[in-house]
């Protein structure tokens, strides 16, 4: 019995421990890269029925296709196309991911063929575009046809992100999708009408209300897309965004104007740079566009970039889930790496949120941003130590907070290396 045959047999078992052990073994093997013959067998086997797993989100067929997709081969393309209708939901998603990862034009054609055959029958549970967004290619295969599927709500976000990636890389000319630009403008205007009335001149808590966040992300994507269209109505919509109090909305208006070579009032640049949430975004984007001279000099300091880096970490849903209401730099610690990097700095902050946020009861808490290489300063790039244990600020000295956070990271890295 071959190795893969043994795994498939165990996945067909009604013993959940055997199923899980087989799936784990398959995952480990796939990280090494399945030989092409074994990958083809895995893709074919995924079309067979498998007993249910103990957890609903576990999918044996999906595990088989995912294993093949880890290191895909072009020989997989016809196998995926042939067996796709027989795959369960999880395997279908992984099959699309496999095609999206392959660089060959044939894979892009197969991706679109599956979309044509199955999208409107509800047989594409999730449209996978991330591998295409990270390495845009074969624009003529996808555009403009794929835009016709944005009427399927579950696909709209991913297709718009895909279009943005191709526009940014210059692979899609805005004039070739100008009709869709009108649709983007209509959608953006609808979001604008909902967001503008709730802007507030003071504080930031309102930005992080879930009802606002649900609208904000999509509005920013539409605004970002509008920046590539030169129709007067699109330009006017972008300019209106300078009226937002929300610095993220203003950032995308700034970006659109700068990349089109249009003048931007320094006040708008100042307001975005003053936002710890958006400061590093603005600096990095102006750097990419060769326009760093536009960045407000008051915020071009390592301390300011470290603060923005700290806030960017806190915004993650697994952390505070939002920017703090207040943040203060309390200490800078310098360390000599004794290596090429030389001296590096860690920045120790204290921060807090106000009611009604869940962390308001904890008062001031400590966090660390860094390390930043001194010879590169000022830089937005931290090298992996940005973290917070959310310890009360009063519980330790600044140096003790730094050491406690770094020790936590060291312990996690050690445990991770064992797995």
The tokens describing 260, both together, are: 């089109």
N-to-C CA span, the chain:
28
DSSP 365: E
**What is the SS3 assignment for 293?**
helix
What is the rounded CA–CA span in Å between residue 108 and residue 210?
A: 37
Distances, alpha carbon 54 to alpha carbons 17, 19, 26, in Å: 9, 9, 18
pLDDT, residue 291, reads: 96
pLDDT digits 0-9 by tens, 340-377: 889 999 999 999 999 999 999 999 999 999 999 999 99
pLDDT, residue 339, reads: 87
Per-residue pLDDT at 415 exceeds 80: no
Per-residue pLDDT at 73 exceeds 60: yes
pLDDT, residue 23, reads: 92
What is the rounded CA–CA span in Å between residue 85 and residue 124?
A: 10
Q: Are 238 and 253 contacting, i.e. CB atoms less than 8 angstroms apart? A: yes
**153, containing H or E segment:** helix 153-168
Arithmetic mean of pLDDT, 254-269: 94
Q: Report strand pairing: 326-336 vs 343-352.
A: antiparallel
The percent of residues above 70 in pLDDT, for the chain, comes to 98
Arithmetic mean of pLDDT, 233-250: 96
Q: Tell me the DSSP string of 68-124.
A: HHHS--TTHHHHHHHHGGGS-HHHHHHHHHHHHH--SHHHHHHHHHHHHHHGGGT--
DSSP 183: H
pLDDT, residue 371, reads: 96
Confidence of residue 61 (pLDDT cuts 50, 70, 90): very high
Q: Which of 67, 65, 72 is nearest to 31 (CA)?
A: 67
Per-residue pLDDT at 54 exceeds 90: no
Distances, alpha carbon 106 to alpha carbons 50, 75, 102, 142, 238, in Å: 30, 10, 9, 12, 38
Distances, alpha carbon 291 to alpha carbons 235, 241, 253, in Å: 20, 21, 15
Output the CA torsion 265→266→267→273 (10° steps). 130
Across the chain, mean pLDDT equals 94
pLDDT digits 0-9 by tens, 180-230: 999 999 999 999 999 999 999 999 999 999 999 999 999 999 999 999 998
**256, containing H or E segment:** helix 247-259
Per-residue pLDDT at 264 exceeds 80: yes
Confidence of residue 57 (pLDDT cuts 50, 70, 90): confident
What is the rounded CA–CA span in Å between residue 129 and residue 133?
A: 6
As to burial, measured by CB atoms within 10 angstroms (0-12 exposed, 13-18 middle, 19+ buried), residue 117 is middle
What is the rounded CA–CA span in Å between residue 382 and residue 23?
A: 36
pLDDT digits 0-9 by tens, 121-174: 999 999 999 999 999 999 999 999 999 999 999 999 999 999 999 999 999 999
pLDDT, residue 414, reads: 60
pLDDT, residue 25, reads: 93
Distances, alpha carbon 205 to alpha carbons 244, 278, 288, 388, in Å: 15, 15, 30, 20
Per-residue pLDDT at 1 exceeds 90: no
Per-residue pLDDT at 419 exceeds 80: no
Radius of gyration for the chain, computed over Cα atoms and rounded to the nearest angstrom: 25
**135, containing H or E segment:** none
- pTM for this prediction: 0.89
């Amino acid at each position: 019995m071959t190795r893969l045959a043994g795994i498939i047999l165990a996945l067909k078992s009604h013993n959940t421990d055997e199923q899980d052990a087989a799936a784990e073994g398959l995952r480990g093997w796939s990280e090494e890269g399945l030989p092409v013959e074994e990958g083809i067998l895995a893709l074919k086997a995924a079309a067979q029925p498998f007993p249910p797993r103990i957890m609903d989100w576990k999918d044996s067929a999906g595990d088989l296709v995912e294993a093949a997709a880890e290191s895909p081969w072009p020989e997989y393309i016809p196998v995926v196309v042939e067996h796709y209708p027989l795959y369960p939901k999880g395997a279908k998603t992984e099959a699309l991911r496999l095609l999206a990862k392959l660089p060959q034009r044939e894979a892009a054609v197969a991706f679109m063929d599956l979309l044509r055959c199955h999208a409107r029958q509800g047989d594409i549970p999730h449209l996978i575009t991330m591998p295409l967004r990270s390495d845009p290619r074969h624009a003529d295969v996808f555009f403009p046809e794929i835009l016709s599927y944005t009427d399927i709500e579950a696909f709209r976000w991913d297709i718009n992100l895909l279009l943005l990636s191709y526009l940014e890389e210059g692979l899609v000319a805005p004039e070739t999708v100008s009709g869709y630009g009108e649709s983007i403008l209509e959608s953006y205007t609808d979001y604008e009408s909902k967001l503008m009335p709730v802007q507030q001149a003071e504080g930031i808590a309102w930005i992080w209300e879930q009802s606002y966040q649900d609208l904000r992300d999509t509005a920013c994507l539409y605004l970002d897309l509008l920046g590539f269209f030169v129709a007067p109505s699109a330009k006017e919509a972008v300019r209106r965004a300078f009226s937002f109090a929300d610095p993220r909305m203003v950032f995308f208006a700034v970006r659109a104007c700068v990349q089109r070579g249009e003048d931007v009032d320094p006040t708008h640049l100042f307001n975005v740079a003053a936002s710890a949430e958006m400061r590093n975004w603005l600096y990095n984007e102006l750097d990419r566009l060769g326009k760093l001279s536009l960045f407000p000099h008051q915020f071009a300091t390592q301390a300011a970039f470290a603060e923005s880096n700290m806030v960017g970490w806190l915004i993650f849903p697994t952390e505070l889930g939002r920017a703090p209401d207040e943040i203060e730099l309390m200490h800078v610690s310098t360390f000599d790496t004794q290596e090429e990097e030389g001296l590096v700095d860690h920045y120790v902050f204290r921060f807090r949120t106000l009611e009604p946020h869940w962390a308001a009861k904890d008062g001031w808490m400590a966090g660390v941003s860094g390390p930043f290489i001194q010879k590169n300063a000022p830089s937005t790039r931290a090298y992996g130590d940005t973290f917070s244990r959310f310890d009360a600020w009063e519980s330790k000295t600044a140096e003790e907070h730094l050491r406690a956070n770094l020790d936590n990271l060291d312990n996690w890295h050690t445990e991770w290396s064992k797995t």
